[in-house]
Amino acid sequence: MNLTHLDENKKPKMVDVGDKQNTQRIATASGTITMSQAAYDAVKNDDTKKGPVLQTAVIAAVMGAKKTSDLIPMCHPLLLTSIKTDIEDIPELPGFKLFVTAKLNGQTGVEMEALSGVGIGLLTIYDMLKAIDKSMVINDIRLESKSGGKSGDFKRGEK
């Protein structure tokens, strides 16, 4: 297997994408956070000491996607054209599922930006609720879909 982040001497390198064509690239990632009923109720009733949890998580998710190249060494700084978020209530957990979709017209994919956005958004929820529930669990951060680029499209659950 040829790993693209290693040079001929097996030293880490950032992949040169300069010769790749610009294409529209979109990636969606998701993840969940499970919490106590008390923490969930505090979010739903907007009764937390640190402010609006889900709204703050959305802002954090956008910031996390935008800062991916500052956090993950081999990621290119990208000119994202769109970052969209959605948070789904999952009362039976209890908890929430966060979705982040990153988009650009460029020479490299946006999977890491979508995944980073999810991670930072969920960590923000944890931070804002840890006074109520330190046992929260962040789970299943994963790529849901991607389109564009040489490797083609991917949709979780499809072969």
Hey, which residues does 145 pair with through a beta bridge?
28, 155
| DSSP-derived 3-state class of residue 12 | strand
Q: Cα–Cα distances in Å, from 132 out to 21, 39, 96, 104?
A: 49, 6, 16, 38
- List residues with catalytic annotation: 127
Burial status of residue 17 (CB atoms within 10 A of its CB: 0-12, 13-18, 19 or more): middle
